[in-house]
Structure formats: structure tokens, C-alpha cells
Structure 1
Amino acid sequence: MKAKRTAVIALLLLGLVAGLPSCDQDTSTSQPVQSSRQPAPSPPTPPAQPQGPPPFDAPWPPPAKGGGEVALSDNLLARNYYVIMDSSGSMNEVRCSGNRTKSEAAKTALAQFARITPKDANMGLAVFDAYGIAERVPLGLENRDKFIAAVNATAPGNGTPLHDALLLGYRRLEETARRQAGYGEYHLVVITDGQAYPQNQDPTPVVAYILRQSPVVIHTIGFCIGTDHSLNQPGRTVYRAADNPRELQQGLEEVLAESPDFDLAAFK
């Protein structure tokens, strides 16, 4: 009896040992172990930076079409003042000018401007009025009497094609720059009493083009319109508001005063 019990216990122990896994047996499951660590997030894309006005980095002056040679000027360092005169229909109004029309006040101021501009500086004139838009006096010397006569001959009428007028003036300065081999000063002087009209005459695109392509300085005197004007672009253009004929004259004098060797007192 005792031997039987011993045999049964031995069999039970062998069964238990057989059911235990061996050290070489793979006890892992088929499911991959998930890591508790999350991947680092990608850095955010920085926002696009606003672009400022394009710097003047184009060749100045740009080569002429056709690549022909250009006769050089006798004075490569000459200053150049090309005037754009607004003689649109609104310039016939009597406002900000006492008992005179704005056109009459502008004619007086421009005649004085012509008289005090240094004789060794080139002057030119483009006008938009009842007769349309056109150059009335080419850039040159010894043309002050012609300049004054052309100003006095303007007749208010039609719209305010500022885009086309500025582009015309820029092209004339560009031509002169070729004759001066790019040296000298280049000023585009605009007198206007209103916003561009019709709508496609907004001067903003041509202003950006001029600033990108050249060292031309754009001066605008807003006559009887305050400072809210498309040509008033701080840091890009020079704008002066004139609310009466005297301020209009002062604005033109300041254009000349920016030249380092100009003495306004010598002309008074």
C-alpha cells in the first residue's frame, strides 16, 4: 500500500514538471509592444514676412532699345526737374485760392518755380488738361520762358490720368539719364488737386515701378486735398499738402531746397 502511494505521488510530480515551460520556450505573444513615448512634434512653419518696397537695384539708366549709342550731355552732373501739371476740370474751381481758380494759383506758383530753378538745371513739363495729356516742354536748359508760356496756355478740363502722366515723365527722365551716363539728380514733380480718374489711372503701380527701376525722387504737392492721396506714400514718395496759394509756392520751393547747393535767398 505504501509503495502504491509513493508511485502515485511520483507520477503527479512528473506531470507538474512536464507542464512547466522550458527556459528555451518563447513565451511572448504575437502582438508588438507599444511604446508609451510619443514622437516629437515638427516645428511650426514660420509665417511669411511682409515684403517692403523693392529696393532700387536695376541698372541705371537702363539701356536704350536697339542698343544704339547716345550722345553724352555737356553736364553729366545736372539736376533734372520734370513737372507734371494737373489741369483737370476740378482745377477750374474757386476753392483754397481766394477769389481765383485753383488753375490760376497753380500757374502763378509754377511760373515762380521756373524763375528760381537754377539755370544749370534741366526743366521739362507735361500737362493733362482739356487738350489731353502730352509733353509741352522737353527737358532742357534756357527754356524757362517756354515753360511759363506753356503753363499759362493750359485750359482746365477732362480727368486726372496720373498713371500715364507719371510714366511719361519717368520715360523723359530716363532718356536724359542715358545722356548723363546715370549721373546727376532726377526729380519728378507733380501738382494735383484730386485722385486719379478714371479708375485705371491709379498711379500706385507706376510709382512702385519707378522706385524699383531708378533713383528718381517723386515729389507731390496736393493742392486743396489734404494728405489722403494715392501719391502720399511715406518712406517712398515726398508729399506736401497745400491749402492755399502760399503753401503751394512753399511746396515747390522745398523741392529745390533739397538740392545741397541751392540758396533760395539768392532768388528773392
Structure 2
Amino acid sequence: MERERPYPSDLSNARWELLEPVFSTWRAERRGNGLDIGRPPEHDLRHIMNAILYVDRTGIPWRYLPHDFPPWETVYGYFAAWQQEGVFNQLNGLLRRLVRKAEGRDAEPSACVLDAQSIKTSANVPAAGQGIDAGKKIAGRKRHLGVDTLGLLLAVWVTAASVSDNIGGIHLLSQIAATSPRVTKAWTDTGYRVKAIDHGARLGIDVEPVHRDPATKGFKVIPRRWVVERTFGWLMQHRRLARDYETHPHRSEAIIHIAMIDLISRRLTRENTPNWRDT
């Protein structure tokens, strides 16, 4: 259904041109595999993605989608399928390479920054998937992030908050080594200890914890580490990420990928990103 007035989260024509080839290829492959035989597509993929971005941006439950979007069951079904089949990962990688080229960088990064963020959860998140971050005194989940030196997402792993940064770092380094083999350097905070450093060395990645000057008082921007802290700030512009609302951790990872797709597609088309605090 076409709307007379689009939502601020809707894809512009320029942003849709960036994403459309990936979605069209996905649909063509499904037809080629016989998954859509007898069921001609009912909904425009751009409208489906607009609905997913609306949820990500506003933080509403799926069942509360406005009626001018396709039915919420349909939207969630596409969201789940795209997550399972790696469409969001593929889009994030494509857009990241385009941004890096536009910034005069090599398409593939050679260095990364790792960090973790503990976040509270909503009531629908199973207790078995939660934990307590003893250091930050937060009960919930933890988002382990690996980004390049522009702050663009390379790897994400969502766990219980009780999982240590060290274990998260080992998992992220393995992901990054598999998907970004040119990476040979990683900066971290001091929560990443010997096991993560040794694991990085085995993968050919030099892991360097960046220490805060103990003589410094108050807020101080820490070299290298500020890049990933800024990425966490970008993500928090999406209300769906103000807490962890997803029943399954892999769905949480997909929501993070969607937020980054939203952010960097706007960056490529030079569109402003309205902040939810101002709307």
C-alpha cells in the first residue's frame, strides 16, 4: 500500500537502489529453488524492508505495526528468513565496502576495534538467555562488537551478560579472521586478556589492549577505543536497541545489522538520520 506521507524511517529511492539488487537476487534464488512455486509474491520487498526499519527505529513490538504496512506475521517471516539466510550480513558487508571506497580506503579493512556493551532486557527474553555483568552490575545480555577503523560493523555476537569480554573477543576474532582475512591488527580495552591475545596471534591478528592513563581524572577520549564506543552510540539511536527485546540472541544480532544498514545507507546517500529523542 502506497502512503501519501512516508515515515521518516522509510527507504528513499536512492537508498532502495543500493539495497534492491540484493533483495531481488534473494527472491530470484528462492524461485530457482522452487520455494515460491504456486505462491506468487504478494508484497513488495521495499515495503517489507520499510516495515522492518520502522520496528528497528521506533522500538514497537512486531504486532503493533501500523496497518498501512503488510501484516506483521508476513513482515516477521521475511525478517526471520533474511536473518537465517544471511541477507542482512550480505547487505552490511556490501554497504561497508562502498563507504570505505567513498572515504578513500581499501574496500577490505586491515585493522579493527573490539568492545562489548551490557544491556538490560525486556520481559519476553527467557531467563536462560540472560546473565549478570558483575563489573557493570547489569542483568541482561551483552553485545560483543568488532568494527573497522571507521566504526563500521565487521562482527557481532550477542550473549548473556555474564559471558566475559575475553570469551567474546575470541569469538569475534574468529569471525573477523573468516570474513575479513586482511585484518592483522585489533585494538581492545583491558578486559581482553591473555587468552584473547593468544587466540588473535594464532589467527595472525595482533591484539593490543589500549590502557587508560591512571593519572587521568574524569572523562577522557581513549585512543582507538573511542571508535567502537561511537558505534554503540550510533546503534542507540534505534529504539529497538535501547533494550534487548528479542527472544533469541541471533535475532538481536539481526536487529544490530539492520540498524547499521540504516545508518550507512544514509551515509552513502548523504541523508540525515532523525534522532528518536527529537521525534
TM range (shorter): under 0.3
Larger Rg: 1
